[in-house]
Amino acid sequence: DFACYGGRRSPHRPPTDELAKRRWQAIRDQEEDRFRALFAAGLRHEAKQKAGKRRRGKKKVKPLTEARQQELLELRMQRWRAKHRPVYKARRSRSQLPERVEIQIAVPPGYEHLSLQEVRQEFRRLLDDHVQATKAKQAEQGLPPFRGDARAKVESTDPFAAAGPCWPNPKDR
């Protein structure tokens, strides 16, 4: 009804479609006006009761003036909005990376006896050993060495282009 595709939309989140957004805002405004009228009627009733008590002289009752009624109405509406109209904060876009990311690296379990610098050296040594073993295995099997322009070739391809016909392709039968 309010143009939300892909899951349930929070009731406090405005719809993306412009027409739906106007309808959604009108519905919210009507609901707020209804509660404002309800609160105002309650304040008018309270003012009449206080005026009656003052007239009867039962006790000293401070009058509820129009200005005070308006002030109380605004306070009640603020509380109502805070409860029923939380401010929607849009999530950060996941399509953009932050400028800077800081990662705290801790010593992994089993390496507590080493300092962080020693752990880094140990993992670097293990990585270098693995790379050397992989290169030796490739040389032993007669495979060509890794070509440095492979990354540029991959980056030059369009990630949204079709990869080719899917198998089985009913048209090519």
pLDDT in tens, 118-160: 999 999 999 999 999 998 998 888 877 776 677 777 777 877 7
Tens of pLDDT, residues 23-59:
989 999 999 999 999 999 998 888 888 887 777 776 7
Asked if residues 122 and 107 have their Cβ atoms less than 8 Å apart, the reply is no
Is residue 99 a part of any domain in this protein?
no
10: in domain: no
Residues 22 and 80 occupy one common structural domain: yes
Structural tokens at position 91: 């999530």
Same domain, 36 and 77: yes
Expressed as residue numbers, the domain containing 24 is 18-84
Q: How many domains does the chain have?
A: 2
Q: How far apart are CA 81 and CA 87, in angstroms?
A: 9
Name which of 39, 45, 37 is nearest 72 in CA terms. Answer: 39
User: Is there a single domain that holds both residue 135 and residue 77?
Assistant: no
Question: What stretch of H or E contains 51?
Answer: helix 18-56
pTM: 0.42
